[in-house]
Amino acid sequence: MAPVGSKRGVLERLDAGEVVIGDGGFVFALEKRGYVKAGPWTPEAAAEHPEAVRQLHREFLRAGSNVMQTFTFYASDDKLENRGNKLTFTGQQINEAACDLAREVANEGDALVAGGVSQTPSYLSCKSEDEVKKIFKKQLDVFIKKNVDFLIAEYFEHVEEAEWAVQVLKATGKPVAATLCIGPEGDMHGVSPGECAVRLVKAGADIVGVNCHFDPMTCVKTVAMMKAGVEKAGLKAHYMTQPLAYHTPDCSCQGFIDLPEFPFALEPRILTRWEMQHYAREAYKAGIRYIGGCCGFEPYHIRAVAEELATERGILPEASEKHGMWGSGLEMHTKPWVRARARRDYWELMQQKEATTAEQLRPLFQKSDAKH
């Protein structure tokens, strides 16, 4: 176990050109497991059921995550109390418990702890800049007390509120990442991704990007637009993406919350592990080096990201001990037609939009017959 503060920071890693792999969507994963209530999506499980949160952190660490993000999504007091959501824990108790759990698991591997704040009901209710910033400051006090490694302002629909959050977080002197839940059309006021990124960098963000609301390839496209805007402005930043694990080609600018399946019938839209490998490769090619996930991402999705970028990272995740690359473990299956699937070209065929033809499959089975 490495002592706190002995690990290289997130900016040191990114400055060196390394890939930093984030974790996945805790509120959705824990809702499925029975620890989070859909609707408020608040993280009281960090205090109520710490064993569940700890285990999910460990699964993402084992899958290859370099960052344990504190389970503090929507943990501001105004959100915790929103629309009659009665809790037996205070925001401070939830935030402190989340920090302790993230640190405990991060110290079990080469992972950093990121304290996160997100959009507030107070901003949407047109409260003043000072009032909104006080809410961020209250959460931030816990993150400083617990000495997180860096800070993330995530899940902001309006760049103005994200700027306010970044300004508060930047005052700590810790590295700051900022992600908006936007697509190529920009924020809810129509501010373009490129302009949003420029504003966030000028506010003090070291890392900019997007999270949630859209599928991986839409998010990669959006971050590429952000990168182009920052470079055109003569500024510098690192880039990150933490998308949904769902296909969202039919979403409006509001993202997946507008889908009729949201939130309880999204499973048919889930990306496969092979599609996640494609996402990881495309994100890397776009110059994105902080690559993670949000709602719908499970540990096996993050493992797919880590496996795709294993050459660049120089390491496979521990969870790959139970997963042969491109299905190679199927070579041990008792059925020959399943053994025939133990190869990359088979699973790449399964990803194509049109139906796989008999002509495409024939050489795969011929290879299997020859081998077995």
Q: Which residues belong to the annotated binding site for Zn(2+)?
A: 212, 294-295
Provide DSSP, 49-60: -HHHHHHHHHHH
Best CA proximity match to 99, nearest among 112, 108, 109, 88 = 112
Question: Which residues are bridge partners to 210 per DSSP?
Answer: 180, 241
- Residues within the annotated binding site? 212, 294-295
Query: What distance in Å separates the CA atoms of residue 213 and residue 219, rounded to the nearest whole number?
Result: 9
Contact 331, 323 (CB under 8 A): no
Query: What distance in Å separates the CA atoms of residue 143 and residue 129, rounded to the nearest whole number?
Result: 21
Q: Is 140 exposed, middle or buried (0-12, 13-18, 19+ CB in 10 A)?
A: buried
Contact 192, 28 (CB under 8 A): no
- HSE (CB half, 13 Å, CA atoms) of 249? 2
Sheet holding 207-211, edge to edge: 20-21, 290-291, 238-242, 207-211, 176-180, 150-156, 112-118, 67-69
Provide φ and ψ at 245, rounded to 5°: -100, 20
Token pair, residue 314, equals 């120089």
